[in-house]
Chains A and B, each alone.
Chain A
């Protein structure tokens, strides 16, 4: 490791695009740069789906980088995202991860904000500074765009509009994942901290599926036809047919793997939006994984699961059973991913590069057309990361 202009860390990045220096997971000082260049830069971050805060006054706390924010459902039906701070001296306004409030009152000096974020009361304001005007003291609002009920926030005015930022190859499957019309109901959360750098968490690939996850082999699962589409700015979309075995011998209760598939989908969709969020529609599970790096070490993941408003009781029950047993930090087909995140993190506290192989055709190119079971879909994300962080690639 070397340092350039003062203490900004610098990394000697390999010439080959399929090599990622292991130091990138561990190097001191990177997190502060990542906050500035990525999390507070020109990216959209999902904060909440309307189904999680369906009624006026419902709120949900979250983080964007290290900034505490909350989304609140206004009396006017709009959902807004604010920084969690009173505009007077900065007391946090919501102190629970979720709840319902009629208005937002700061306990310190009783400034009062409505659910739309306007300052509507502040005791003793006749003695405030001469140019004090309530209108200047509304809550700090983030720029927000919604997509079928899913609200994204960005810290930058320059971030392109949501659809342009994602591109059709990403947002079209996202629409299907959100039930086609976004009319979802929240059915629950699984929350966990994974012991790894955030970049190890989102580096899951298309190659490992049938190899790591023994359940796939035991259940005689054939992947089905599918594609992996990569966007230049590092978003990833796996879209595959799901062909389920007629009979599941390996389990006593095979019904957990039934694929009823009522909504608009081939079967399985896995999306990864830069920098860190995964969305899945696997069998009958609709799942968004809100992810919050805990600084350079550890990432907190909130798996949110949904049903569709048109589901009958049987379908809802089925989604609950699948969501509770297949994905998440204990899931039959995803606990191994969690284990790998932690092991990758430990394993990368060693020398050398992490090397991608499956699907590499040209070691000096960034592939955007990628086979379903290749691991090269991750390279565009790494390239975007490298560029945003300003690391020079070594000459060929």
Chain B
């Protein structure tokens, strides 16, 4: 079976591009806008997934949590964080539609970061996204985006979602 069975790849790519642009442009409202009202976001380590351990780095398991994530980044911790520029590179690996119309996608990602003091670019993490995407009013939205990092030991504290 094709890894891209009859799904609208273009809508998926547009959503993913909006997602990474939101993060790379520090626009947390646009990040939130990538999720449906049932949206969830999880950032976790490959080790936790492999060992069936449910704790994550970030676990926003409902839309209210996603909104609180925006508040955490933009208000609560804004002035104590050392901010950095992120740059995402992603690659669509598969997209398949399940019976209930939800599209399951996988992307590889690598994310670089450039701190605003040293201006030296380093790798923040490498991993994969496992997504559930719904099409609402002709627009693709994440019902769930799970970022699983191979980088089980992150090189710094992490201010923003990946």
Contacts and interface: CB of A to CB of B under 8 A. Distances in A.
A252 B68 CA distance: 6
A252 B54 contact: no
A147 B45 CA distance: 29
Interface centre among B56, B152, B157 (most CB of A within 10 A): B157
A338 B158 CA distance: 9
A190 B55 contact: yes
Interface in A319-377: 320-321, 323-325, 328-330, 332, 335-336, 338-340, 342-343, 346
A251 interface: yes
B161 to A, nearest CB: 9
Contact of A192 (B61, B80, B153): B153
Contacts of A332: 72, 76-77
Given A330-B58, A335-B77, A342 B156 contact: yes
A247 interface: no
Interface stretch (A17-25, A124-132, A164-172, A210-218): A210-218
A184 B154 CA distance: 26
A187 interface: yes
Contacts of A189: 45, 47-48, 53, 55, 152
A186 B55 CA distance: 9
Contacts of B54: 187-188, 320
Interface residues of A, number: 40
A214 B153 contact: no
A188 B82 CA distance: 26
A187 B51 CA distance: 10
A340 B77 CA distance: 12
A320 B76 CA distance: 22
Contact of A338 (B43, B60, B72, B157): B157
A188 B55 contact: yes
Given A187-B54, A252-B68, A324-B59, A192 B156 contact: yes
Given A190-B45, A192-B156, A329-B158, A252 B67 contact: yes
A32 interface: no
B76 A324 contact: no
A191 B56 CA distance: 10
Contacts of B64: 251-253
B48 A188 contact: yes
A98 interface: yes
B77 A214 contact: yes
A194 interface: yes
A192 B65 contact: no
A325 B82 contact: no
Interface string A31-42: 000000000000
A244 interface: no
Contacts of B43: 330
A191 B59 contact: no
Nearest to A191: B153
A323 B56 CA distance: 8
A5 interface: no
A236 B106 CA distance: 46
B89 interface: no
Given A189-B45, A189-B47, A252-B64, A329 B57 contact: yes
B138 interface: no
Given A193-B156, A194-B157, A212-B80, A324 B56 contact: yes
B71 interface: yes
B157 A192 contact: yes
A253 B62 contact: yes
A300 interface: yes
Given A188-B55, A324-B59, A328-B57, A251 B68 contact: yes
A305 interface: yes
A97 interface: yes
B126 to A, nearest CB: 15
B17 interface: no
Contact of A336 (B47, B80, B155): B80
Contacts of A330: 43, 57-58, 157-159
14 contacts: A189-B55, A190-B55, A194-B157, A251-B68, A253-B67, A320-B55, A320-B59, A321-B59, A321-B61, A329-B156, A332-B72, A335-B158, A336-B77, A342-B156
Interface of B: 43-45, 47-48, 51, 53-62, 64-65, 67-68, 71-72, 75-77, 79-82, 117, 152-159
Interface of A: 97-98, 186-195, 212, 214-215, 218, 250-253, 256, 300, 305, 320-321, 323-325, 328-330, 332, 335-336, 338-340, 342-343, 346
The 8 closest A-B pairs by CB, nearest first: A188-B55, A324-B59, A338-B157, A188-B53, A252-B64, A253-B64, A329-B157, A336-B80
